[in-house]
């Protein structure tokens, strides 16, 4: 018996089974890329309302990144912003009748979590070098190395499970209510699902940013930094 969590394969490309989630992802990608291209074709020094709205989005994202990490926003803007926009679009795609959001499938959320895992390593190495990235596991002191390694895996796993659980549960609840109470009753739940999708996208992006910045900062900071672990004597004084 197949699990309800499994996605039906629409067609096969070599060894890869193309599910509806993948197709929806491609559709979202196409819409986002074409829409972004259409919106950013005529950017001018004197902004129109459309351009002002786009700049407001980018400026808000930059502000969030700066407030979260304290670092410059430019290196992380593309990755964090795309994560947020894609997850939001994927979550809200459930509003389209007959479309199941890609984030309600394990593979999509696991893929996103894997990207965050890799990006933490990538940004860590790029900021402090390979030694700096390794050193980030010894923060605040080398005793924490096993725990930090375990944490780097579990926190990504928790991200993917959190996103998957929230979106999938929403889809399930709405599906159950639709099957029981007809057409109009699920609408408040769908509205709630919109809010849940927005919050989950925001949480996923912010957590990714926090993990990346934590690794970057730990790699750049010397071991046993007194600012990280102040001695009780110093604290008491």
In sequence order, what DSSP letters do the residues of 149-173 get, joined into one string?
Answer: HHHHHHHHHHHHHHHHHHHHHHHHH
Do the beta carbons of residue 48 and residue 189 sit within 8 Å? no
**What is the C-alpha separation between 29 and 33, in angstroms, rounded?**
6
Contact with another protein (CB under 8 A): which of 88, 112, 139, 163? Answer: 112
- Quick note: the x/- pattern for another protein over 46-75, rule CB under 8 A, is -x---x--xx-xxx--x-----------x-
* Residue among 87, 92, 84 nearest 190 (CA): 92
Are 132 and 214 in contact, with CB atoms under 8 Å apart?
Answer: no
What mask of x and - would describe binding to another protein in positions 12 to 51, judged by CB under 8 A? Answer: ---xxx-x-xx--xx--x--xx--xx-xx--xxx-x---x
**Contact pick of 71, 99, 110, 177 for another protein (by CB under 8 A):** 110
Binds another protein (CB under 8 A): choice among 10, 72, 96, 114: 114
Of 93, 94, 105, 152, the residue at the interface with another protein (CB under 8 A) is 105
Rounded CA Rg of the chain: 21
At 42, list the tokens.
Answer: 């005529």
Q: Footprint of another protein on this chain (CB under 8 A)?
A: 3, 5-7, 15-17, 19, 21-22, 25-26, 29, 32-33, 36-37, 39-40, 43-45, 47, 51, 54-55, 57-59, 62, 74, 77-79, 81-83, 85-86, 102, 105-108, 110-112, 114-115
């Amino acid at each position: 018996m197949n699990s309800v969590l499994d996605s039906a394969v629409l067609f096969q490309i070599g060894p890869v089974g193309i599910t509806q989630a993948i197709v929806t992802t491609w559709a979202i990608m196409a819409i986002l890329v074409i829409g972004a291209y259409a919106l950013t074709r005529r950017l001018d020094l004197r902004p129109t309302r459309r351009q002002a709205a786009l700049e407001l989005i980018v400026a808000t994202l930059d502000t969030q990144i700066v407030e979260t990490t304290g670092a410059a926003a430019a290196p992380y803007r593309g990755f964090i912003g795309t994560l947020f926009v894609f997850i939001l679009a994927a979550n809200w795609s459930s509003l389209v009748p007959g479309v199941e959001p890609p984030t309600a499938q394990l593979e999509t959320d696991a893929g996103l979590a894997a990207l965050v895992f890799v990006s933490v390593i990538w940004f860590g190495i790029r900021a402090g070098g390979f030694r700096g990235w390794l050193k980030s596991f010894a923060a605040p002191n080398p005793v924490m190395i096993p725990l930090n390694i375990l944490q780097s895996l579990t926190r990504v796993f928790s991200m993917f499970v959190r996103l998957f659980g929230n979106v999938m549960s929403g889809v399930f609840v709405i599906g159950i209510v639709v099957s029981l109470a007809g057409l109009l009753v699920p609408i408040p739940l769908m509205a709630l699902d919109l809010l849940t999708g927005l919050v989950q996208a925001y949480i996923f992006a912010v957590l990714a940013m926090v993990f990346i910045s934590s690794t970057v900062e730990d790699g750049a900071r010397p071991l046993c930094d007194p600012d990280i672990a102040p001695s009780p004597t110093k604290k008491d004084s």
